[in-house]
Amino acid sequence: MNKSDLAKAVSEKTGLSRTQAGDAVDAAIDAIIGSVKGNDSVQLAGFGTFHAKHREAREVRNPRTGEKMMSKARTQAAFRPAAALKDI
């Protein structure tokens, strides 16, 4: 399922037009992205939690040359599924 399929499913379930459903899906995704960028978590009951996860700098190896180097510390988005979603 891609984003347009999701918008179509939302449209059929809610009675909204496809354009309105697409706008709703886009708004929800933008809200989740904005919260994770702000280092907040988004908890959706029965679905899961989107959160920011900090990764420390670490030593990595270039597979081509074998050279050791340090990767940068970074923050990435992560998703933790709810128990109900794990059971499916």
- The pairing of strands 59-61 and 48-55 is unpaired
What string of pLDDT tens digits covers the 88 residues of the chain?
A: 999 999 999 999 999 999 999 999 999 999 999 999 999 999 999 999 999 999 999 999 999 999 999 999 999 999 999 998 888 8
Give the separation between CA 22 and CA 17, rounded to whole angstroms: 8
Domain residues for the domain of 25 are: 1-38
- Do residues 47 and 33 both lie within one domain? no
Do 46 and 80 reside in the same domain of the chain?
Answer: yes
Integer angstrom CA distances of residue 39 from 64, 75, 82: 35, 9, 20
pTM above 0.85, yes or no: no
Residues 52 and 85 in one domain: yes
User: How many domains are there within the chain?
Assistant: 2
